Structure 1
Amino acid sequence: MASFDFSPLLPAGLPAPVARWTGLAKYSFVGGNNDPDGVPVEDLRRAADAVLTREGRSLATYGLGHGPQGYRPLRDFLAGKLGRDAGLSCSADDIMLVSGSLQALDLVNQALLARGDTVIVEQDNYQGTLTRLARLGVNAVGIQLDQDGMRIDALAAALADLKARGIKPKYIYTIPTVQNPTGTVLPEARRRELLRLSEDHGVPIFEDDCYADLTWDGSRPPAIHAMAEHGGVIHIGSFSKSVAPALRVGFVVAPWQIMSIMLALKTDAGSGALEQMLLAEYCKTHFESHVPQLVRGLRAKLDTLMEALNAEFGTAAEFAAPKGGIFLWVKLPDQVDAMKLAQAALKAGVSINPGPEWSTDAAHARSRLRLCFASPSHQQIREGIAILAEICRQEFGVPVRSANVERTSAAG
């Protein structure tokens, strides 16, 4: 049967087509997937049954009768949670529910950005943010990070340089609490300096707090939004990492001046209402006890990953333990090309995120990897890292000899 050729109809500038999905790799260290054992399935099932029994008839209307900002009980929960955990004073009317934080990114960008604009971001960053900015034709200026997150001295220098060239960035994007991919937490003093620079230069802050619930000790600095006096902060978050990624529920806290524009742009007839109802019912009684349990499991998997890297790579793998979250940012020796390593490893059943895809500076990230430790089991982490080390040794000569080989030689 002849196939219609759509290629002459496709406009310029589209992303490259994706390959058909063939399933996850046997040893998958990619994506923002969470711990399968950490999903509170039974409590979610009971919550779904309760809320559908009580309010299921409201599914006959798009907004459940709660308006375009989303299901009111979930917004009420979020207002209370953000006040308790992040010091952020807001009401349900200041919150908009969206289809995951990716939709929040899109809406903020649609409201504020045009082709040729400039924004400031952290140098090592969320791939979803970087690819969106590139597709929009926006210039992303990367700011170096250290063990405490974004370097404020580097930010000040970048702002001064842009000002000298007559360029005013549209926003400063930051993931301050458990940064993706580095796992750093921006201290309160740096947050104050960031706000001062924001006010001095008249540039708003775009605060992405998607991983803020997953700190190892359960504590965090106040949200930047909570510390702002000038109102120039847009704050976004998500339930993807704290409950389940597949629920696709995120949120935006923003001044009405910009919120009203984002609502006008949100032409999807509303984000998934059933998920919002389910989360509101579940969270009001279970969220506070669930998160510490989830975090304990994630921390144990991180320990397994770091032990496996030390055993298989030795000093060839450099990393700093993250302060929470689900990722480890790893630096391999300079001769390692992470893009090539990722391709070779995938053929052996191990998927990794190569660093250049997660940075504004591909050369800086050439030999870096982002490893998600949340989804694989402890056994899969150990086996997958052993295979990755062997592939890396075959392709790039490092580690010079894997720990498994050394043990075998010693036994022989």
Structure 2
Amino acid sequence: MVPQSGLPNGNAPASAFDMAAKMAEGLPGPAGAWTPIPRFSFVGGNNDSPSVPVGGLTEAAMSVLTKHGSELATYNLGGNPQGFEGLRTFVAGSLDANAHMPTSSEQVLVVSGSLQALDLVNAAFLRPGDVVVAEEATYGGMISKVARRGARCVGVELDDNGIVPERLAGLLDELAAAGTPPRFIYTIPTVQNPTGSVMPIERRREILAIARHFGVPIFEDECYSDLQWTGERPPTLRGLDCAESEGPSAVIYCGSFSKSIAPALRVGYIVGDVPIVRQLMALKDDAGTGAIEQLVLAEYAAAHFDDHVTQLRETLREKCAVMRHAVNTHMGALSQVAIKLGGPVQVTDPKGGIFVWLTFPAGTDTSSYLAPAAKRGIQFNEGAAWSVDPQWGARRMRLCFGSLSHDDIQEGVAALAQVIATT
């Protein structure tokens, strides 16, 4: 009890209470005010809205709630905290059939989007000062999440087929010699983000052999692999490892329904050996991923997933062609952008997914275009945020074409090129 003499004078104005000053140090800056998505938004992982299977999801929701609605009264539907059995069974069967990765439902942990998968794996493996090896261009969310745990990413060179094996072996040798062997290798081998490459099967075997030689686990992120439209989908690293090596696997795998069905569902999954999955379950202290989303996905996907994804791939392939044509037209040789920058902008030819990765002439800093582009209602991802070495990534840019119409892609790229040419 505060003594009466210690209470403020009843006539004096109360002093302002600074709640922010009581928070922990080292937090990220406060989020800005929400603003509507502009017409020419080339950022994020948003997908084609007409392709969301609204009708099928509606039917699935009605059916599954009739069957399982009363089970919502208990956490995890009264079942396994690994996730709804029907969804885990679908994931296991789909990976076996489409990714050459025989999987049991006990090896699957349902999570709240692949971002939670990253958090759980990072929490299990990383300590302050640790090192993670990642592709030199990689998912920006992973870079920031590793940094928040006091660890750091070290980049390894990419080419059109993914990680360059010789560079990986040399880097792991250097890190071992320096006394900082990495806790794991983070890779996106199938429809790499942001480059859109697909690692061939023989190179996958080389990467696995190198990782096993140095005793380094692999964290395989395949969130875009369902969207590969060029060539046959190769076996996953985990699938190859389990088939060709004895004993426990060296690979933890994660996937997501965000890109194949809808980002707002926030449902992903981790696949690993059972002891690893159970350890990650112990770190997943959120009382379970949303049950309705799992129920609906399980009901819908069992009947319609493959047909839906086949159609979505073709939609995205057409959009990618429109995007590449627009970039080559407005930023290629003889364009005003090329004249100003001293050379054309190079654009990748992805084998799937929803992104193209642009490389500008040396000396360009794409972040300098963020503010003037925003004034024109244009958003893009500057390359530094998607590169382990921000200086290496400064002359690069990621553009998402997934959510825009053909007309908006063409007009948006033209408007962005004008911003670049006049800034």
- TM-score range, shorter-chain basis? over 0.9
Does residue 247 of the first structure (1) align with residue 275 of the second (2)?
A: no
**1:70-85 counterparts in 2 under 5 A?**
70-85=83-98
Partner of 1:355 in structure 2? 383
For 1:322, which of 344, 350, 354 is the aligned residue? Answer: 350
Distance 1:7 1:278 in 2: 40
2:210 aligned to which of 197, 221, 225: 197
Q: Which residue, 312, 316, 334 being the options, matches 1:298?
A: 316
Aligned equivalents of 1:232, 1:215: Cα separation in 2: 25
Counterparts of 1:7-26 in structure 2 under 5 Å?
Answer: 7-26=20-39
TM-score of the pair, normalised by structure 1 = 0.94
Of the candidates 224, 227, 233, which is equivalent to residue 240 of structure 2? 227
1:340 corresponds to: 368
Q: How many aligned positions are there?
A: 395
**CA–CA separation in structure 2 for the residues paired with 1:147 and 1:13:** 38
User: Contact (CA 8 Å) 1:111, 1:258: kept in 2 or not?
Assistant: no
- Is residue 386 from structure 1 mapped to residue 414 from structure 2 by the alignment? yes
Indicate yes or no: 2:65 matched with 1:37: no
Q: In the alignment, what sits opposite 1:149?
A: 162
CA-to-aligned-CA distance 1:287-325 (integer Å, 9 cap, x gap):
010001001110111111111112211232201200100
Aligned to 2:301: 283
> Which has the larger displacement, 110-119 or 334-343?
334-343
Distance of 1:150 and 1:38 partners within structure 2: 32
Stretch of structure 1 that moved more, 13-22 or 270-279: 13-22
The whole-number CA distance in structure 2 between the counterparts of 1:312 and 1:200 is 47
Q: Deviations over 1:128-170 (max 9, x none)?
A: 1000011111121100111111111110000111111122211
Asked if the contact 2:110/2:289 (under 8 Å) is kept, the reply is yes
Q: CA deviation at 1:2?
A: 8.3
- Distance (whole Å) between structure 2 residues aligned to residue 114 and residue 354 of structure 1: 29
Greater Cα offset, 150-159 or 307-316: 307-316
Query: For the residues of structure 1 that align with 2:345 and 2:306, how far apart are their CA atoms?
Result: 36
1:6 and 1:112 map into 2 onto residues whose CA distance is: 33
Aligned equivalents of 1:285, 1:3: Cα separation in 2: 58
Is this contact kept in 2: 1:218–1:292, CA < 8 A?
no
Q: Find the residue that maps to 1:321 and give its secondary structure.
A: coil
Shift of 1:217: 3.5
RMSD of aligned residue pairs (Cα, Å): 1.3
Where structure 2 has 5 or more consecutive residues not aligned to the other structure, the ranges are 1-13, 334-343
Cα distance in 1, alignment partners of residues 320 and 15 from structure 2: 52
| CA drift at 1:283 | 0.3
CA distance in 2, matches of 1:111, 1:258: 9
Amino acid at match of 1:132: K
Which of 325, 329, 336 is the equivalent residue of 1:311?
329
Question: Where do residues 103-252 of structure 1 align in structure 2 (5 Å cutoff)?
Answer: 103-217=116-230, 219-228=232-241, 229=245, 230-252=248-270
Residue 54, structure 1, aligned to residue 73, structure 2 = no
CA-to-partner distance for each residue in 1:340-366, whole Å, 9 max, x for gaps? 112211111000000000001112111
Inter-partner Cα distance in structure 2 for 1:217 and 1:40: 23
- Residue 4 of structure 1: how far off its partner (Å): 3.7
Q: Which secondary structure state, in structure 2, belongs to the residue aligned with residue 252 of structure 1?
A: strand
1-structure distance, mates of 2:275, 2:144: 27
Query: What is the rounded CA distance, in whole Å, between the counterparts of 2:257 and 2:17 in structure 1?
Result: 41
Q: How far apart, CA to CA, are the structure 2 residues paired with 1:97 and 1:261?
A: 14
2 CA distance for matches of 1:263 and 1:89? 21
Distance 2:231 2:256 in 1: 17
Distance in 1 separating the partners of 2:414 and 2:364: 17
CA–CA distance in 1 between the matches of 2:395 and 2:374? 17
Deviation at 1:37, TM superposition (A): 1.1
Separation in 2, partners of 1:294, 1:89: 25
Q: Go from structure 1 to structure 2 and tell me whether the alpha carbon gap of 1:385 and 1:7 turns closer, same or farther (over 3 Å shift).
A: same
- Any unmatched runs of 5+ in structure 1? 396-412
Counterpart selection for 1:97 from 110, 117, 120: 110
AA paired with 2:261? V
Q: Name 1:399's counterpart in structure 2.
A: none
Residue type of the alignment partner of 2:386: W
Distance of aligned partners of 1:221 and 1:2 in 2 relative to their CA distance in 1, 3 Å threshold: farther
Q: Which has the larger radius of gyration?
A: 2
- Distance, in Å, in 1 between the alignment partners of 2:89 and 2:173 is 41
Alpha-carbon separation, structure 2, partners of 1:290 and 1:216: 13
Structure 2 length normalisation: TM-score?
Answer: 0.91
Who is 2:5 aligned against? Answer: none
Secondary structure of the 1:258 match is: helix
C-alpha distance in structure 2 between counterparts of 1:282 and 1:261, whole Å = 30
**What percentage of aligned pairs have identical amino acids?**
47
- What is the one-letter code of the residue matched to 1:387? A
How far off its partner does 1:108 sit? 0.5
Change (3 A) 1:56 1:139: same
